[in-house]
Structure 1
Amino acid sequence: MPRLPSAPPRHGPFQVTDAVRCIWPAAAVLGEGGLWSVRRQCLFWVDILSRHIHRLDPVTGAQHSWTLDEEVSALAERRDGEGLAIALRRGPAFWNPDRPGEPPRYLCQPEPERAGNRFNDARCDASGRWWMGSMDFGCERLTGALYRVEAGGAWTRMDEGFAVTNGPTWIHQGRTMLFNDTVNGQVLAYDTDPSTGALSGRRRWLQLAPEDGVPDGMTTDAQGRVWICHWGGGCVTCHDPDTAQELARVRLPVSQVTSCTFGGADLSTLFITSARFRLDAAALAREPLAGGLFAVCTDSMGLPASAFAG
């Protein structure tokens, strides 16, 4: 059951208003990339290693899945163009779920020299830039990097030296970007110029305790609080944006919690993805819902996901 704070948090009290529910026991190998489409009023998410894009209409329960020819790790709506922007193994691409017979079209491929890498988590800022992290496929070598991708496909390598990357999300009206150095269990913060996308002042914002796993996907709600998924920790935690203090903890019946996003008609449902990556038979017996899609209702509201300007 959710563990709620005993004292009102600085950024306003809130409640988790029901138990966590598994709404799609998909048995994803590596579920990730939850995106609530305001335009379509549905949730998209992915299974990276199975190369699936999933779509759920939470009102009707209708489910649909597509299989691509390579790993797909993140999704974004397009501000003006048709279909979706998606993160494939080698970088950002465009793909249209209404024309699934057409293959994705790469926008750029920033890492031709890093054959052992793949792209992972990604999110757009309020100006429509797409921030993407790459990682070592084996999760060991420090070959991963953080990229900023512009509408026309121009890209800039903003930071590097990571084994696994996740995020980002923004706080303080876009003036601070948070980004996860997952293997080292830390959330980094960067001072951000919202007008140019320039970064400076890299620092550690939060270090997770070993028993809490490592930080995976995350999102920011309408009051500026940060919600972080714990890979290996079996929970999502909510944090004060100024102090990083934990305000609440939502426990799940699975250990590998991977991404979260607010959705639903009023953006108050937290959708949470999970994985069963490398879990043995004994672990799967303890976690039969591993790889499922979960939902929990809150009285907090999320923010509509920013669209890619391309």
Structure 2
Amino acid sequence: PQHLVDVESQELCHLNDGKCDPSHRLWAGSLGHFPEGATDIHDIEKEQGSLYSMQKDKSVVKRWGKIDLSNGLAWSLHKKKFYFVDSIKYRIDSYDYDDATGDISNEKVAFCFKANNVEGAADGMTIDQEGMLWVACFGGYQVIRVDPNTGKLLQQVAIPSPNVTSVIFGGPNYEDLFVTTGTMQMTNEQLEKYPHSGCIFRVTGLGIKGTP
């Protein structure tokens, strides 16, 4: 491993999801501390996280702060929109995106979990070749496909684990959806009922391709 840069001065914060934008900047968001014995994502210390991007010269830009639990990141196919998840908000936000500078502005709600009766909280996220978002649902036993332009729920894919954490397309033609899961906050009963929690699942036969 190679050390690149330090971005957080707070010892109780750590980085969560990271991804490269269309111009190859590395973006990553942080989150606050979970107290010992925490059993729910709402136990996190609020507004301690930030969103950063690392430029090609390895300088770091803090895009904004006061984030509760930074998670999924995605960019539209035409490079004009940035999609972001702060899990505690139970929604996906959309921003105008300037690919030349990395600047983001004009926050709008692209998809609301509660308005669509979606179980769980938004976690990791990816985008397919049709510009639709695939979102892991932490505590929701599923991955969902949503249209960020209309705010509509398009598809639900059940996963045999409560805590679905992230998604990415892969395989020779980017036709397989790989889904990560975790065991955080699970009871012994849940671990017995869902013994494959913490595994990576591959979903095939969706008839949809992802992006590299």
Aligned to 2:84: 179
In 1, the alpha carbon distance for the partners of 2:118 and 2:153 equals 15
Q: How does 1:112-131 map to 2 (within 5 A)?
A: 112=9, 114-131=10-27
1:275 paired residue among 182, 200, 209: 182
Name the amino acid aligned to 1:281. Answer: N
2:111 paired residue among 199, 206, 210: 206
Q: Give % identity.
A: 30
2:198 paired residue among 265, 275, 291: 291
1:251 aligns with 2:176: no
In 2, the alpha carbon distance for the partners of 1:117 and 1:261 equals 25
1:154 aligns with 2:59: yes
User: SS at 1:284's partner residue?
Assistant: helix
Provide Cα deviations, 1:74-101, integer angstroms capped at 9, x if missing partner.
xxxxxxxxxxxxxxxxxxxxxxxxxxxx
1:136 paired residue among 32, 35, 54: 32
Q: Post-superposition shift, 1:291?
A: 0.6
Aligned to 2:7: 110
User: SS at 2:89's partner residue?
Assistant: coil
1:300 paired residue among 204, 208, 212: 208
Aligned to 2:39: none
Which structure's relative contact order is higher, taking Cα pairs within 8 Å and 6+ residues apart? 1
Query: Is the CA contact (8 Å cut-off) linking 1:275 and 1:290 kept in structure 2?
Result: yes
Query: Is the CA contact (8 Å cut-off) linking 1:272 and 1:293 kept in structure 2?
Result: yes
Query: Is the CA contact (8 Å cut-off) linking 1:221 and 1:300 kept in structure 2?
Result: yes
User: SS at 1:261's partner residue?
Assistant: strand
Name the amino acid aligned to 2:201. Answer: F
Q: Post-superposition shift, 1:186?
A: 1.8
Q: Post-superposition shift, 1:260?
A: 0.5
In 2, the alpha carbon distance for the partners of 1:183 and 1:117 equals 16
Q: Post-superposition shift, 1:225?
A: 0.9
**Structure 1 unaligned spans of 5+:** 1-103, 305-310
User: SS at 2:11's partner residue?
Assistant: coil
In 2, the alpha carbon distance for the partners of 1:202 and 1:187 equals 10
Query: Is the CA contact (8 Å cut-off) linking 2:111 and 2:146 kept in structure 1?
Result: no
Q: Post-superposition shift, 1:162?
A: 1.4
Q: Could you say which structure has the larger radius of gyration?
A: 1
Between 285-294 and 136-145, report the one with greater CA deviation. Answer: 136-145
TM-score, L = length of structure 2:
0.90
Aligned to 1:78: none
Q: Post-superposition shift, 1:175?
A: 0.7
Q: Post-superposition shift, 1:211?
A: 5.6
Q: Post-superposition shift, 1:157?
A: 0.8
TM-score, L = length of structure 1:
0.62
The alpha-carbon distance between structure 1 residues 125 and 215, as it changes in their structure 2 partners (threshold 3 A), is same
1:165 paired residue among 36, 46, 70: 70
User: SS at 2:135's partner residue?
Assistant: strand
1:195 aligns with 2:100: yes
In 2, the alpha carbon distance for the partners of 1:117 and 1:260 equals 24
Q: Post-superposition shift, 1:140?
A: 2.4
**Structure 2 unaligned spans of 5+:** 35-43
Between 174-183 and 137-146, report the one with greater CA deviation. Answer: 137-146
Name the amino acid aligned to 2:7. Answer: P
| Runs of 4+ that moved beyond 2 A | none
Name the amino acid aligned to 1:119. Answer: L
Name the amino acid aligned to 2:180. Answer: T
1:231 aligns with 2:121: no
1:240 paired residue among 147, 160, 164: 147
Q: How does 1:57-68 map to 2 (within 5 A)?
A: none
Aligned to 1:52: none
Query: Is the CA contact (8 Å cut-off) linking 1:171 and 1:241 kept in structure 2?
Result: no
In 2, the alpha carbon distance for the partners of 1:266 and 1:208 equals 30
User: SS at 1:105's partner residue?
Assistant: coil
